[in-house]
Amino acid sequence: MEILNFIIPFIILLTIVVFVHEYGHYYFARKYGVGVTDFSIGFGREIFGFNDKEGTRWKFCLIPLGGYVKFFGDRNVFSYSEQKELLKKYSEKDQQKLFVVKPLYQRSWIVFGGPLANFLLAIFIFSFVYMFSGKDFTPAKISEVQIDSPAQQAGLKKNDLILSINGNEVKSVLEVPTFINTSLQDTILMTVLRNDQELSLSIKPKEIIGKDNLGNNAKKKIIGIKISPIDNEFNKQKLGPATALFYATKETWFVTKTTMNFVFSMFKGKADTAQLGGPIRIAKITGQVSQYGFVAFLSIMAYISISLGLINLFPIPLLDGGHLMFYAIEKILGRPLSQKTQEGFFRIGLFLLLSLMFFTTINDLKDLGLF
């Protein structure tokens, strides 16, 4: 039963996030007149489905780990000569429904539509949460500075009000640990307000192996301060639509920026690759978070949606970003790359994705203590 408590929320979350992603592709395909034969949630044998009036088969399949949209005449055609051969197989009316005959900007929007939908879903979820549950605006005032801690050595004092961390404005006491632990620099630049004066201090945090809020092992950065709400009361406010949208967009951008910084640091060999997780870890965290209620479940869905959208924009063949990379090359050269060249890139992309899946699976098994 405990496994079901993890798997069921994960499948629900993944189904929604994947559906939104694929619907982004579907929306722009239909907008630009591309025929869509299949809209599938999952892979493998179909469990159930139906046909709409446009001839699209909407279906749920046995393996619920992804999904796809299949276009009319589904083939990746890379050269003009092959396009001509493909066009011979269809009537003039059906040719207008082919993806490959569409202008470059329309094909780009169709491909970009999936990741775009994921970002919009995250913004919608954050906005919903801020409007109906509220957003915390408790001032981040230091109530204690531990002796001989990095904070004390840097000059932080009790009653300092934290204004920003690494350029990120601190609006809530809850943001302080987030900004500290997502920092990839050796030192943290913190701006505080003390006696009506702003001070900028450089702090070198300590790294420890501890527990996150869900009880999982995690590397944490600590500077040796305690922050307590004034009179132990949090200032949580329900926001109006415009203000909620502003903060939702800001949160989505912060998560995107932080993730990109982590990826770049990983390639430089400076990031902790043990933080990379795959479906097993995501399922575990989703199950843990869902036990804290509907709002917590929605929040983790927003973060996963951002991750899915961002990963798909990586310039790796087989991903949406890989297709956009090829379209950029096509725009520069004035023609698409040859089929042989693109197939070579796709083999490289497949190798990279399989390697990433293997690496994250090993991390997941280590996290479960099975490796």
Element housing 164 (H / E)? strand 161-165
Which of the given ranges, 1-5, 23-27, 85-89, 274-278, has the highest pLDDT on average?
23-27
Do both 129 and 141 map to the same domain? no
Q: Is pLDDT at 21 greater than 90 in this prediction? A: yes
State phi, psi for 193 to the nearest 5 degrees: -105, 120
Do both 124 and 141 map to the same domain? no
What is the span of the domain harbouring residue 168?
A: 136-237
Q: What's the CA gap between 371 and 365, in Å, rounded?
A: 5
233 labelled catalytic: no
Q: What's the CA gap between 225 and 179, in Å, rounded?
A: 14
Which of the given ranges, 88-102, 277-291, 292-306, 339-353, has the highest pLDDT on average?
292-306
In a domain, 256, yes or no: no
Segment 181-207, tens digit of pLDDT: 888 888 999 999 999 899 999 999 888
Do both 95 and 217 map to the same domain? no
State phi, psi for 130 to the nearest 5 degrees: -65, -30
Q: Decide if 275 contacts 170 (C-beta within 8 A).
A: no
Q: What's the CA gap between 337 and 329, in Å, rounded?
A: 8
Do both 141 and 75 map to the same domain? no
Q: Is pLDDT at 57 greater than 90 in this prediction? A: yes
Q: What's the CA gap between 344 and 335, in Å, rounded?
A: 17
Do both 46 and 100 map to the same domain? yes
Closest by CA position to 70, among listed 36, 47, 101: 36
Q: What's the CA gap between 276 and 111, in Å, rounded?
A: 26
Segment 297-354, tens digit of pLDDT: 999 999 999 999 999 999 888 889 988 998 898 888 888 777 778 778 878 877 887 7
Of the candidates 214, 237, 260, which is a domain's last residue? 237
Q: Which residues on adjacent β-strands are paired with residue 61?
A: 46
Q: Which residue has the tokens 């991390």?
A: 363
In a domain, 293, yes or no: no
Look up the pTM and report it. 0.87
In angstroms, the Cα distances linking 39 to 21, 71, 159 are 11, 9, 57
Q: Provide the CATH number for the domain around residue 160.
A: 2.30.42.10
Length of the chain: 371
Count the alpha carbons within 13 Å of 318 in the hemisphere toward its beta carbon.
12
Q: What's the CA gap between 343 and 67, in Å, rounded?
A: 22
Do both 127 and 73 map to the same domain? yes
Write down the catalytic residue from 2, 22, 54, 169: 22
In a domain, 282, yes or no: no
Do both 18 and 129 map to the same domain? yes
